Structure 1
Amino acid sequence: MDRLTEMEAFATVVDQGGFTDAAKKMGISKSAVSKHVSSLEARLGARLLNRTTRRVAPTEIGLAYYDRARRVLNDADEADALVTSMQSAPSGQLRICVATDFGVNHLSPLLVDFLREFPQVTVNMVLENRPVDLVSGSFDMAIRVGAPDGAPLTSRKLAETAQRMVASPGYIASFGRPARIDDLKNHKLLHYSDLDSGSVWRLIAPSGEQRQIRTAGWLSVNDGQSLLNAAISGLGIAYLPSFLCADALKEGLVEDAMPDLAPDLQGIYAVYPSARFTQPKVRALVDFLVAAFRDKGPEKW
């Protein structure tokens, strides 16, 4: 007889407390359940159940065997569910958390094609500049700029971006181009207020030395597009990711304020809770984004 079926028959008898209810649970005859259990006991050379006219209970050996058998059966059920899940079409609501600048400028335009390709999926995208707890939270995945933290998350790199110090040609003409990092203290700096480092820019000097510059200036805002608009208007120097300012650089609206400064490269990642298998809707979007961003970054946006 099939070994796994014998295990299932025995474990179901223990779970249901008797052969009659076990037969109903398995959808087979009572005699078939009894044959499976008897075959198992004969193969193992041990009595696993004490049978009386009123009740059936596992022996001491049977109880120990039941614990292991139940684990094997649960693993088999999970394996079946894994295959079913991986072959099923992506469907259901997909909740995504993404930083505002990246979500508006790069993720939103791609969702049109994604939803057309996977019509059974609905997307709820939340724009949030601070990291959310994906393990205990209500999001299926997030798009994060910067190396993922040590949380129990799975991550896939989508692209890279480079932090650029940009200012308008008019600002450079009026105030000059800073030649050294120390020159920045004489300039008007535009600050992104949601930085984990506070009102400080962490820069890498041409020598490789890491420097910190306090950025108290005319404007502090928690939106990168607003900072770019201010820089285009000649209000000061902004320190922005290339995925946000690349078009403005190409069009000459801003220029690199310190071209000799080493670029600060950062990865852009899709992150989602670690699990034995990934939901089809999550896997579909991650694969879609990996393909969409294959030729992007760090300067090519």
Structure 2
Amino acid sequence: MDRLTEMEAFATVVDQGGFTDAARKMGISKSAVSKHVSALEARLGARLLNRTTRRVSPTEIGLAYYDRARRVLTDAGEADSLVTSMQAAPSGLLRISVATDFGVNHLSPILGDFLQEYPDITVNMVLNNRFVELISEGFDMAVRIGELEDSTLRARKIAETTRRMIGSPAYFEKFGQPRKIDDLNAHKLLHYTSQANGAVWKLTAPSGEKRQVRTTGWLSVNDGQSLLNAAISGLGIAYLPSFLYADAAAKGLVVEAIPDLPVEPQGIYAVYPPGRFTQPKVRAFIDFLAHAFADKGPDRW
């Protein structure tokens, strides 16, 4: 007889408290359940169940065997579900959390292509500038930039960006071009209030020395696009990701404030909850993003 079937029959008898209810649960006859359990006991050379006219209960050996058998059956069921799930067509509601600047500028323009490719998926994209709790807040995945704080999540890098200080040519013509980090103290700095490390720019000097520059005072905004617009208008120097300023730089609307500073790429990741397999809708979207951004970054945006 099939070993898994024997184990399932035994475990179901324990779960249901008897052969009659186990047979009903499995959809087979009571005699078939009894034969499976008897075959298992004969193969193991041990009595697994105490049988009386009123009830059935596991022996001490049977209880120990039940714990292991139930784990094996659970793993087998998950393996079957994995194959079925991976072959299923992606469908259902996909909830995504994305940083506002990246979502508006780079995800929104390509969502239509994804939805046309996968018409059975509906997308709810939430734009915000905080790290959401994926599981407790009901998100299937998130797109995050920079160092990943939650190591329990699964992650796949889909692109790279970098952060640079930029300003308009008109601003630098009027106030001069800074040549080193200390020169920034004499300039008008535009602060991004949603920045995780507060009103501080963390910079690396050409020597490799790590420096910090305070940015409070001139203009504070909680939106990257607004900061870029302010920089283009000549209001000061902004410290922004390349995926946001690259187009303006290509048009000559902004230039780097201190080009000699080292370029430090930051990863852009698709992150999703841990588990033994990835939902088809999540896997499909991550594959789509990886293909869409294959030729992007750190400065090519």
Q: Same fold (TM over 0.5)?
A: yes
Answering whether residue 125 of structure 2 is matched by residue 125 of structure 1, we say yes
Question: Which residue of structure 2 aligns with residue 81 of structure 1?
Answer: 81
1:109 is matched with which residue? 109
Residue 290 of structure 2 aligns to a residue in which SS? helix
Q: How far 1:52 sits from its partner (Å)?
A: 2.0
In the TM superposition, residue 150 of structure 1 has moved relative to its aligned partner by: 3.8
Cα distance between partner residues in 2 of 1:299 and 1:32: 68
Matched AA of 2:114:
F
Q: Structure 1: which amino acid aligns with 2:104?
A: V
> Is 1:218–2:193 an aligned residue pair?
no
C-alpha separation in 1, matches of 2:264 and 2:94: 32
Tell me the equivalent position of 1:288: 288
Q: Are 1:41 and 2:33 an aligned pair?
A: no
Report the CA distance between 1:263 and its aligned residue: 2.0
Where does structure 1 lack aligned partners over 5 or more consecutive residues? Answer: none
Where do 1:242-261 residues align within 5 Å? 242-261=242-261
Residue 173 of structure 1: how far off its partner (Å): 0.9
Q: Using the TM superposition, give the Cα deviation of residue 135 of structure 1 relative to its aligned residue in structure 2, in angstroms.
A: 3.9
Percent identity of paired positions between Structure 1 and Structure 2: 75
- Aligned residue for 2:56? 56
Counterpart-to-counterpart distance in 2, 1:262 and 1:52 = 79
Residue in structure 2 matched with residue 10 of structure 1 by the alignment: 10
Q: What residue is the counterpart of 1:148 in the other structure?
A: 148
Corresponding pairs, count: 301
Equivalent position amino acid for 1:74 in 2 = T
CA-to-aligned-CA distance 1:46-85 (integer Å, 9 cap, x gap): 1111222222222222122111111111111111111111
Q: 2 CA distance for matches of 1:15 and 1:183?
A: 74
CA distance in 2, matches of 1:90, 1:47: 47
Moved more, 127-136 or 177-186: 127-136
Residue in 2 that maps onto 1:191: 191
TM-score (norm 1): 0.97
Deviation at 1:162, TM superposition (A): 1.3
Amino acid at match of 1:225: Q
Q: For residue 242 of structure 2, what is the amino acid of its counterpart?
A: S
Distance 1:62 1:262 in 2: 66
Cα-to-partner distance string for 1:247-282 (whole Å, 9 max, x where unaligned): 100101111121112123211111111111111111
Measure, in 2, the Cα distance between the counterparts of 1:241 and 1:44.
65
- How many Å separate the matches in 2 of 1:122 and 1:4? 39
Task: Assess if the C-alpha contact under 8 Å between 1:135 and 1:152 holds in 2.
Answer: no
Comparing 73-82 and 47-56, the one that deviates more: 47-56
Amino acid at match of 1:58: P
Query: Are 2:158 and 1:158 equivalent residues in the alignment?
Result: yes
In 1, Cα distance between the equivalents of 2:5 and 2:126?
47
- Tell me what 1:97 maps to: 97
Amino acid at match of 2:41: E
Please name the residue that 1:180 is paired with: 180
Which consecutive segments of 4 or more residues in structure 1 shift more than 4 A? none
Instruction: Give 2:180's aligned amino acid.
Output: R
Larger displacement relative to structure 2 (7-16 or 220-229) = 7-16
- In structure 1, the partner of 2:236 is 236
Gaps of 5+ in 2: none
Per-residue CA distance 1:140-191 (angstroms, 9 max, x = gap)? 1111110212431001111111112111111111111011111111111111
TM superposition score normalised by structure 2: 0.97
Cα offset, 1:4, TM superposition: 0.7
CA distance in 2, matches of 1:187, 1:246: 22
Question: Secondary structure of 2:74's match?
Answer: helix
Q: Distance in 1 between matches of 2:45 and 2:166?
A: 79
Deviation at 1:214, TM superposition (A): 0.9
| SS in structure 1 of the partner of residue 133 of structure 2 | coil
